[in-house]
Structure 1
Amino acid sequence: MQSEGSLRERLVDAGVELVLSEGVSSLGLREIARRAGVSHGAPRRYFPTHQALLSAIAGRGFADLAQRFADAVDEATSPRAQLRALACAYVRFAQERPGMFELMFRHDLLRGQARAAGEPRLRDATLPLFGRIVELIRRRREQEGGGRRDVPAEETAVALWANVHGLAQLWGWGSIGLALGEDDSPQDGDRLDRLVTALLDAHLGEADA
């Protein structure tokens, strides 16, 4: 007999597989239960609401993104270079996992309180990622100069994150290629580098500043 914990994880695993292959609209309780090989009422034993299960699935997405951040960054490089790597990793994550990316930033999940016992709030998963951006912006200012020092690092981080998130969404919608009159290939690394450079220049100053 499987433990309560393993059955719970099986439900989350099934939800992750569904959102990656079929998108957010596929994440009905019955379909998740069917994919997990349990009765349609089983999810309620582990998650108080449908929203709580969706939050647990989205939590896996934040864990994946955090690992990508860790893999992308070379701590020996400059703060600006690390911010570039994080921005590129963020956009690529959105390109490769659009369903999960959409789920992770659903306002009802980020702001909601419904979650399984012992589960942290989903929005708390964003705080370490945001804190890392703030710290790199502070280090950029201290070590390299550039950017507007009269704007708090936290506000610059919010503006930069908003721009990178918008870039990720617009790219996913096909709007970037339309605006530039080019094909919208998610594999276009040169275009991503150019756009991320423009964002960093706008918020941090140019590389040689």
Structure 2
Amino acid sequence: MPPDDALRDRLVRVGAELLRTESPGALSLREIARRAGVSHGAPRRYFPTHLTLLSAIARSGFADFSEQVTAALRTTPEDPRIKITTIAYLYVRFAATNRSMFELMFRHDLLTSGGELGLRDASLPLFRQLTGLVAAARPDSGVPPRVTAAAIWAALHGTAQLWNWGSLTLATDATDPLPFVDATLTAHLGPP
């Protein structure tokens, strides 16, 4: 790897590590440079704006989640419903254990920006995978698989956010978000 790529990757890695203990608001170019042990101007050589660095860090979150899904699905039975359930559980768990990264990954300004900055294409492979599994699980549902997959994703995202904010626990005394995931999948896919 050329030295430039090594430093670029280190800056992204340091930003991702910073998110383990801090909110996305702590991701300043200066702080990332300080923790990476480089001058405060060094990140500008690789990331012309603060948003380009944030986007690169968020992409690393999508890559991490995608790796987790790929690894889990290798050992999951071929039943599409079981694979959807595996992805859904991982999604909510990832959101709960990587709260700041999850927040950054879905920042509207990063998702809607064009070009290299935009994150839209970072989430699409997983959405396509979910859509394919929905099509296999409900081939004759009469609802386009993309619509059902989007509804599942929206409900999972809402569950993850409400769980992270403590709202589901407050409203239901729940100690685990997975029953809400199961209810979402039953509502959109029918009983297991």
Residue 146 (structure 2) pairs with residue 154 (structure 1):
yes
Q: CA RMSD in A?
A: 1.6
Residues 76 and 82, structure 2, Cα contact 8 Å, conserved in 1: no
Tell me the number of residue pairs that the alignment of Structure 1 and Structure 2 aligns. 190
Residue 189 (structure 2) pairs with residue 204 (structure 1):
yes
CA distance in 2, matches of 1:12, 1:168: 25
Q: What's the offset of the Cα at 1:55?
A: 0.5
Matches of residues 18-33 of structure 1 in structure 2 within 5 Å?
A: 18-33=18-33
Partner of 2:84: 83
CA distance in 2, matches of 1:90, 1:56: 20
Q: Alignment partner for residue 173 of structure 2, among 178, 181, 185?
A: 181
| Structure 2: gaps spanning 5 or more residues | none
Partner of 1:102: 103
CA distance in 1, matches of 2:76, 2:163: 28
Q: Alignment partner for residue 164 of structure 1, among 156, 159, 170?
A: 156
Residue 170 (structure 2) pairs with residue 138 (structure 1):
no
CA distance in 1, matches of 2:76, 2:86: 11
Identity %: 52
Bigger radius of gyration among the two: 1
Partner of 1:44: 44
CA distance in 2, matches of 1:125, 1:103: 13
Residues 77 and 83, structure 2, Cα contact 8 Å, conserved in 1: no
What secondary structure, in the 3-state scheme, does the structure 2 residue paired with 1:22 have? coil
Structure-1-length-normalised TM-score: 0.86
Tell me the alpha carbon deviations over residues 161-183 of structure 1, each in whole angstroms, 9 at most, x when there is no partner.
0000100010000011111134x
CA distance in 2, matches of 1:43, 1:103: 19
Tell me the alpha carbon deviations over residues 63-116 of structure 1, each in whole angstroms, 9 at most, x when there is no partner.
111011112224533111111110000000001000000000001111113647
Deviates more, 1:106-115 or 1:42-51: 106-115
CA distance in 2, matches of 1:166, 1:205: 20
Q: What's the offset of the Cα at 1:5?
A: 1.2
Deviating runs (4+, > 4 A) in structure 1? Answer: none
| Structure 1: gaps spanning 5 or more residues | none
Q: Normalized per residue, which structure has more helix?
A: 2
